[in-house]
Structure 1
Amino acid sequence: MTERGGPLARQGAMACVEALQYRLHAEARALGAAATNPARLRHFVLASRLAADLWLRHVQGPDSGRPLHRRMADALGLAAGAPAITAAEPPPPPAAPVGGPGCVTVLQPFEPPNDRAEWLTYQALSSPLPLRQVPRDAAKRIDALAEAAPAFAAPLKEIRRTLALAAHAGRPSPRIRPVLLVGPPGIGKTWFARRLAQALNLPFGSLNLGGATDNRCLQGTARGWSAATPAWPIAEMSRLAAPNPVLFLDEIEKAGGQRESNGRVHDTLLAMIEPESASGWFDECLRSPADLRNVVWIMAANETRGIPAPLLSRLAVHHIAPPPASAFDGTLAGLLSGIAGDIGCSIGELPELALETRQALKRSFASHRNLRRLRAQIEECLGIAAEEAMRASH
């Protein structure tokens, strides 16, 4: 009623919330006697949870000793009238919220849609979570990444400026404008997104939208369905236990869906990245607003055709060209580092590539300039070198 009703309905709902607060305050005095009455105790607990949910939804943050109806009126944008129900004693003021300026409460308190145990993992998002802070040497890390991936110098330059501005303002967890990388397949867009997350010391999640026929892969499934699932960003923040992960969306120009029937991915994504709507994006499964403002969005596409103009206008679009042949040495070092990381070893523990092999890889790279193809060739050469080393040792 407070969210969708008219002024009179909202005033009536406001009076009901106030009456519930006063009733609970009086009921708490007799809570000792309720211990012998389980039904009464259960009723009190359920009513307290309802009152707390209403309070957090409409009257967030600490306040002075102003009457409840005035605080509710300010929260709902109504003229404050006299309280509908009076009491001898006012209710106690709400407790100050837990957490500091470096913490974010992603979800408001919610009731799980069913009794599946997985909902316990999402409950952690309704408590303040600390923002992951970028390292102090983030600028040096960005410079090192720019040397390893010169084709991505433009987006890295913009991100470096954002980090500098945030550091000047004393904010160790900056909000970065969503980035769209446009370029042909195989030039390292996914590789770059992973390395950027590592440089910023932020957890990483990825989703391919190429085969999406509706928005359920991003928006989740609404409550009422047997397989109800929260939105993908909320699921990733729960899995990664961080309110500001790097979330990578690949092939966004190929995302499907119809606005009239099953929902379009682009419309859902637009609401998730728009600052005003991202601050209270409503999840239809958990039936709770979620704060998505701190997510670092990196997106990739082969072309901009197929992406709506309203979505493009909210993205930092960077067209990425294939790396030049002169960047082979840095590209090779970066790919070797990535291969070693995937295996779980250091670069020095990889088989050494002979000079003739490196020169052959360089000539091949100059002809195709495709990072995915170059990595496959490097892995094949490393495998051959490893087999030769094993035969030599025996």
Structure 2
Amino acid sequence: MTDKTKRQLALLDDVRRLERTFETSAAVAPSTSMLYLGSPLLAGDLAADALAWLGAAELALRGIGPAQRLLHFLRTFAAGPTETMALTCVEAGWEILHGPFETEMRRDELEIVRDAYARAAFYAWCLGSPEAALHVAQHAAAMLRRVDSELFKVRFAQTMLAALRTAEDGYPWGKFDVARERTRALDVLVGLGELVPDVRLAQRAYLAEQVLEEAKGKFSGSRVADLDDREGIARTGDFEIDEPVVGPSLVVVPSLDHLPDKRNDRGAPRSEFGHLAQRALPLVKMPDLAEASAVLKGEFPWLSAVTDRILEGVVGKEAVVFPSAICLVGGAGAGKSHYARAVARVLSLPLTEVPMGGAADSSFGGTSRQWSTGRACTVLQSIKRAGVANPCVILDELDKASSNRFNGSALDVVLAQIEPGSRKAFFDPFLEAAIDLSAVTFIATVNDIRPLKGPLLDRMLVLYCPAPTAQDIDAIVAGILRQVREGSGIDPRFTPDLDATEMDVLRRGWRGGSIRPLKRAVDRLLTLRSAPGLAH
């Protein structure tokens, strides 16, 4: 049994104990911290809960001089709970803890008042107050900082985020930036890393156990091992489960049990990538290749032969996984980068574009976690963002990467990531583990193949991209206009196609070759449309 499995089973035990505590709320008012952990109110009734809780807390509050006004309001609220009176209690509690009385009270007295203040805020939130939600979020955050239990940390963080989702900006007694606090709450959940899905899994397992209790005649016991995987629960020897991936998939990240268990450290590998460990990630399925080919040839008619060579590498496959990396070679302005992006678009591949020009170290392949700036390799970060095992990574201007190996070489890293033998087990120094990059689509663009000659070029499908000719101008201009419309964010109707006169001007001025002068000319024509006075 792995360390992760042991931890998950321990979480399941914690969930069992917490749920048994919650069961007592049918007869006894739960403590305030239990409410923030998700316990139901006494018998599910707010009025009954308030009366029972105040009956137990009144004696303690009566002995605290500065709390008498708060106690009066709490009695009024318990006699007839309303949102307005609950907020009045919240205000009274806040004033005690943030006014001159704070220095006059003992620590135990402050804790009693703080508990009453948090309870009143929770009641007001239950009654629909967005103002109280802000207080609830603050109390949940404070409770989270005071506990060691992993389960409690996640539960308090979930309460904090749930409260902030219902909150409105404008703190009743002082400034409160809801957007900033929401970000902080999400940061807390991110910092908990793989613990969040582990807790969710343990809660699902507990619910399944309750189903088993109702069917004891059919099962031999009430442990998770007695449940069927298809019901969403794993056997004891294979407790780590997730939503099943339908279709082709690939495990990219192996077990990370060899790393220190620092899930609360956002910079730790297990915090950042633990949720991907031993998890099958989906592969982008193959789209209609005939349609993809038609789109690419329509937009890049001068690269029709290149399109055929690229797409023939995935014919008959269930997922978009190329047999080798692709290297597009051509002169400046031939449209290589734009074409590479279009290939990713028509194949529905999430895209990461990496400018390799001037890259003078091996950081593309990740950096060791012994450094404070340690990071996983760029490709794994792309996989994490995309949530699939086969994103597309464009290595733009790869021929301009530095050949200096003083701080490592970007070209050597690329070689290891595209080499058929090593790409299935590329060693990431941040995770200190071998990851599987065999499904990633690498497309490099270069002007000159001479810097890549040797092992690197031998492992690529090298495709020469001819420069466009004058006959391709209609498709190129259509593509330029499409980029302008997408980039401007303006209604496409305000950027109509060029008319016959404008196209004639372009044809006289551009005879083929680099697309960049043509793009400048189109930009000039569009500017003249809106400011004809600039024409001369």
2-structure distance, mates of 1:352, 1:178: 37
* Displacement after TM superposition at 1:212 (Å): 1.0
Aligned to 2:521: 377
- 1:319 and 2:469 aligned: no
- 1:162 and 2:313 aligned: yes
Conserved? CA contact 1:353–1:385, under 8 Å:
no
* Displacement after TM superposition at 1:153 (Å): 2.0
TM-score normalised by the chain length of structure 2: 0.52
Aligned to 2:76: none
Return 5+ residue gaps in structure 1 as ranges. Answer: 1-17, 42-48, 50-90, 390-394
Conserved? CA contact 1:237–1:245, under 8 Å:
yes
Conserved? CA contact 1:121–1:238, under 8 Å:
no
- 1:255 and 2:395 aligned: no
Aligned to 1:231: 377
Query: Which of residues 282, 287, 310 is equivalent to 1:130?
Result: 282
* Displacement after TM superposition at 1:131 (Å): 1.5
Aligned to 2:206: none
Query: Which of residues 237, 245, 248 is equivalent to 2:391?
Result: 245
Give the 3-state SS of the residue equivalent to 2:368 in structure 1: coil
Conserved? CA contact 2:320–2:347, under 8 Å:
no
- 1:199 and 2:346 aligned: yes
Aligned length: 307
1-structure distance, mates of 2:303, 2:497: 28
* Displacement after TM superposition at 1:388 (Å): 5.0
Q: Note the alpha carbon deviations across 1:249-272, whole angstroms, 9 max, x for none.
A: 01111211444x322222111110
Conserved? CA contact 1:103–1:128, under 8 Å:
yes
Cα distance change, pair 345–133 in 1 and its aligned pair in 2 (3 A):
farther
Conserved? CA contact 2:356–2:396, under 8 Å:
yes
Give the 3-state SS of the residue equivalent to 2:412 in structure 1: helix
2-structure distance, mates of 1:280, 1:198: 27
Cα distance change, pair 356–92 in 1 and its aligned pair in 2 (3 A):
closer
1-structure distance, mates of 2:485, 2:268: 34
Max Rg structure: 2
Aligned to 1:7: none
Q: Note the alpha carbon deviations across 1:277-296, whole angstroms, 9 max, x for none.
A: 11111110121221111111
Give the 3-state SS of the residue equivalent to 2:393 in structure 1: strand
Aligned to 1:66: none
Cα distance change, pair 220–376 in 1 and its aligned pair in 2 (3 A):
farther
State how 1:1-394 maps to structure 2 within 5 Å. 93-94=237-238, 99-100=244-245, 102-110=248-256, 111=259, 115-116=265-266, 120-126=271-277, 127-135=279-287, 137-166=288-317, 171-216=318-363, 218-259=364-405, 261-344=406-489, 347-366=492-511, 369-387=513-531
Give the 3-state SS of the residue equivalent to 1:279 in structure 2: helix
RMSD over aligned Cα, in angstroms? Answer: 3.4
Identity within the alignment, %:
28
Conserved? CA contact 1:266–1:308, under 8 Å:
no
2-structure distance, mates of 1:223, 1:370: 44
The amino acid that maps onto 1:236 is S
Conserved? CA contact 1:351–1:385, under 8 Å:
no
Q: Note the alpha carbon deviations across 1:16-42, whole angstroms, 9 max, x for none.
A: xx9x99xx7xx98xx89xx9xx99x9x
2-structure distance, mates of 1:109, 1:378: 53
The amino acid that maps onto 2:376 is P
The amino acid that maps onto 1:224 is Q
1-structure distance, mates of 2:251, 2:468: 41
1-structure distance, mates of 2:331, 2:238: 55
Give the 3-state SS of the residue equivalent to 1:206 in structure 2: strand
The amino acid that maps onto 2:321 is P
Cα distance change, pair 92–337 in 1 and its aligned pair in 2 (3 A):
closer
* Displacement after TM superposition at 1:352 (Å): 4.3
2-structure distance, mates of 1:204, 1:329: 27
Structure 1 consecutive aligned stretches of length 4 or more whose deviation exceeds 6 Å: none
Q: Note the alpha carbon deviations across 1:301-335, whole angstroms, 9 max, x for none.
A: 11111113111111110111211111111221222
Return 5+ residue gaps in structure 2 as ranges. Answer: 18-146, 151-193, 195-234
Cα distance change, pair 185–118 in 1 and its aligned pair in 2 (3 A):
farther
* Displacement after TM superposition at 1:363 (Å): 2.1
The amino acid that maps onto 1:115 is D
The amino acid that maps onto 1:220 is G
